[in-house]
């Protein structure tokens, strides 16, 4: 089979995303490929780990990279094939970032409440009383009989 030979087609076999031997790539060339999968992964990570700093970091990354790729797709610099992945990842990143911010505010408010109201309201304990020392034994009286059983 030569390079120009094509495989026989069956009805319903031609899909735009399917390549056949001899097809020419007529899609336009873009400066950059889309990063939709990575942006989606960052958005999901920001949602899952919103209780720690990873929620902030990955939420910001998904938001910034998503905005950059969507602007590039609008300008024709980035492959628009991953537009949906990019949009969903960007939105998940924003939601994860918002959850991280709310969770952080909750923790800060909890500690402020705890140290402002709970700790000062604790009952004051009186200072510990020093133990009373035992009285020292009295020296024997002169001239008193000492029992021999004590020796």
| pLDDT score, position 37 | 95
Q: Which residues contact 90 (CB under 8 A, 6 or more apart)?
A: 39, 43, 62, 63, 65, 66, 67, 70
| pLDDT score, position 19 | 44
| pLDDT score, position 15 | 44
Per-residue pLDDT of the chain (151 residues; tens, 9 = 90+): 455 555 555 555 444 444 445 556 666 677 888 899 999 999 999 999 999 889 999 999 999 999 999 999 999 888 899 999 999 999 999 999 999 999 999 999 999 988 888 777 777 888 888 888 888 888 777 766 666 555 5
Q: Which residues contact 79 (CB under 8 A, 6 or more apart)?
A: 30, 32, 33, 34, 73
| pLDDT score, position 127 | 84
Q: Give the sign of the dihedral formed by CA 77, CA 82, CA 88, CA 92.
A: negative
| pLDDT score, position 14 | 47
* Rounded-to-integer distance, Cα 105 and Cα 53, Å: 13
| pLDDT score, position 99 | 96
| pLDDT score, position 18 | 45
Instruction: Record the tokens describing residue 94, joined without a space.
Output: 């924003």
């Amino acid at each position: 089979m030569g390079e120009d030979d094509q495989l026989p087609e069956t009805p319903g076999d031609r899909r735009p995303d399917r390549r056949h031997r001899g097809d020419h790539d007529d899609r336009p060339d873009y400066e950059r490929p889309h990063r939709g999968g990575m942006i989606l992964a960052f958005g999901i990570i920001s949602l899952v780990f919103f209780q720690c700093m990873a929620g902030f970091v990955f939420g910001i990354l998904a938001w910034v990279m998503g905005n950059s790729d969507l602007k590039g797709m609008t300008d024709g610099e980035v492959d628009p094939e991953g537009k949906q992945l990019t949009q969903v990842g960007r939105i998940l990143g924003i939601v994860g970032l918002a959850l991280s911010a709310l969770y952080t505010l909750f923790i800060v408010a909890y500690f402020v409440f705890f140290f402002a109201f709970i700790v000062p309201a604790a009952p004051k304990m009186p200072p510990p009383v020093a133990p009373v020392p035992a009285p020292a034994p009295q020296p024997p009286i002169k001239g008193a009989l000492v029992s021999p059983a004590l020796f």
